[in-house]
Amino acid sequence: MSDEHPDAPSTPPGPPPYPGTAPPSAPPPYNPPPPYNAPPPPYPPGGGAPGGYYPPGAPPGQWAGAPGPGYGYGPVGYPGAAPYAGYWARVGGLLLDGVIIFVGSLIFLLPAHAFRSMHTINSGRVYAHVGISGGGLVFLLVVGALYASLLIGLRGQTVGMMAARIKAVDATTGGLIGFWRALGRDLFERLLGALFVIPVIIDLLFPAWDPRHQTLHDKVTNTVVIKV
């Protein structure tokens, strides 16, 4: 009598199956590394600045920027953030607004005889020049403050800013800042101008080196000026 079991297999069992999926039949394709100094990948659809980039590992809509020198990075905290406005765009918009305010004020100041001839004596010499009355100066200050506060507060742009294609917005939400906040922004700038001129010069030059291109009155009111 044989000791072999009648149902015993005639050949030994094969190796256990490959864990998970079957082994690949061919090695994976080679993906060459990106070229040196290549730009990072573009924004995914639905967030970020047009033409901008996310840094590695950044969540969508939380950090926005744009390629090229002078762009800086857009406001943080909301999707669709745009690049910051350039320094000379801000200067151009400011100068145009100054011309608009002055020329518009002349319509009221000239009939009111706010400008008058004045004489100054210096080292025995008499110098004639045109001056403005105290009432005329107050009028210019009030008109300038209301002009900037109404337009920036309600639509984010003065006429000069529209021409320069820039806009003042909340640095956190990207929304409009409203009349009272815009008024405080403007009055703080005028206060700096009243402090012996040097502080307002620093304020106006601050965007040239600030990472977010902000003036001091932008920082006080948590606003940024962006491109549109």
Can you tell me the mean pLDDT for 80-88?
A: 83
Structure tokens at 132: 């403005």
DSSP annotation of 207: G
The pTM of the whole model exceeds 0.85: no
Structure tokens at 98: 């100054």
Q: How far apart are CA 54 and CA 99, in angstroms?
A: 40
Q: Please say whether the beta carbons of 49 and 82 come within 8 A.
A: yes
Q: Please say whether the beta carbons of 189 and 199 come within 8 A.
A: no
Q: Kindly tell me if the per-residue pLDDT of 151 is higher than 80.
A: yes
Residue 127 in 3-state DSSP?
Answer: strand
Mean pLDDT of the chain: 75
Residues 2-57 have pLDDT tens digits of 555 555 556 666 665 555 555 556 666 777 766 666 655 554 444 444 444 444 44
Q: Kindly tell me if the per-residue pLDDT of 70 is higher than 60.
A: no
